[in-house]
Structure 1
Amino acid sequence: MTAAAPQTLQIADSGSRLDIALDRPDERNALTFEVWDDLDRVTAGVERRDDLRVVTLTGNGPAFCAGVDFAAIGAALEVERGSYPSFIRRWATIVDRFERVAQPSIAAINGPAVGAGLELALACDIRIASDRAVFAMPQMRMGIVPDVGGTSRLARATGEAFAKDMILTSRIVDAEEALRAGIVSRVVPHDRLAEELEAVAAAVERLPWPSAYFATLAVDCGPRLDPRRAADIEAMADQVMLRQEEVWQGISDFMAAKGLRGLNR
């Protein structure tokens, strides 16, 4: 039986690329149990796909994601508040998949990325922002800690001092400050965001497989290892890649173009 189409996500699947858009624009793409369930099914499917080369994530409407829809979550929980830790762990597992899947993931942050929405974006390998995007971790204003990996991922992206500042003060960070801090790697005018996402996704999609997976794995693991072990990961990756004829053809084409000078033409 074919799985039901997600009701809270817009999905486009080309076979080698999967585009995911959070699709509750009237609610600023806030996360309900239904959204988490849809994300769970879609990301679990990505893990089983050998044909996919890249996954993208964005939001429909003016916001990327306004975080958890606490009104909807509270109504669904009713008085069973004791279940709270268990579903947080499930949500964290769903967010982790964006970081762990073999395919590189690209977040196109089209507007506010708040709370769990920012935590979801931080799990993606590449983060591009519209100049209209803003970022915040306001959970501490409610007396709760960012709880789906946000503290550790924000600290890895920005450093501990900036992460503590942002989390403890709940302040709003604009796109340019987010770029300087390392929350995102690019900021583009809002009307160019889709074009920029297309260009980045197409570049990743063209890479010989699984070189993109090996590269993101090396970047994720390398800083936590001593330099020798980090270099070992790189060497093992290239031992696999250099067995592929496609790679040798790429090396030949690169050399024929005189290396980096050829890239500037």
Structure 2
Amino acid sequence: MVNKTPQVLTIAGMDSSGGAGVSADLKTFAAQGVYGANVIVALTAQNTMGVQQVSMTSPSMIHAQLKSVVDDLKISAVKSGMLGDVPTVEAVAEFLQQADFGDYILDPVMVAKGGAHLLSDEAIVAIKSSLIPLATLITPNMPEAEVLSGSNITNHEDVMQSASKIQQLGVENVLLKGGHASGKDVYDYILLADGSHFWLKSSRVDTIRTHGTGDTISAAITARLALGDDMKKAIIYAKAYVDATIREGIDVGHGHGPLNHQARVADRHFPEVLENV
């Protein structure tokens, strides 16, 4: 009997060192047992030390890639990562409005770990107006959430208010990642479409090998939704998977190294689910 493996899609840039972007997404898809297709919106020359050069894909080529996928594959969930500029955002948004790719997970790659903005103000406006209303889930880190909500985040109450403001932009569900905060524990906040909400608490790992964590968690959620998980279950499992990829780390490169996408998820990797913090 033919194996009816779920098919998913990533729309993102290519990391030449294999740690983030499409490379991380495809590894994550494979680890979850789904088939991954990819649309490349940018080529990067980068490694664990940083990004050396970026070359954007033309909107016409992005459209051609998307059409090739939709004409042949049965995609049941899609995610987007780094989109880079306004023409790319507009090209992706236009196609997503026309195609039925199922659940859409938006990783709004706007702010780097060091705090540098990766998108122009115009591109951020385009994401807010064109992509967020199409998304089933958005997965901002804290600096990105501040940009999207227009408010500073200094405590848990701020996190909740920021997530609510982002949801009001039109997205169904919000995962506000807490990895940028300080402290021995990491608190991620989830606001679901039905108004229910909860926190995920996990202990912080002392490591610099965290390159591609944002890509990986959004890709894992995409895969789990395609496998039939509901949103809450998908997010919790994806968080456990990322925890495993960090804790069972690998030694690659001389800078902020990549995750171990071959890590196996065990009970110890699952976060604590909290209704209130």
Larger Rg: 1
TM-score range, shorter chain: 0.3 to 0.5
TM-score (norm 2): 0.39
The answer to which structure has the higher strand fraction is 2
TM-score (norm 1): 0.40
The answer to which structure has the higher helix fraction is 1
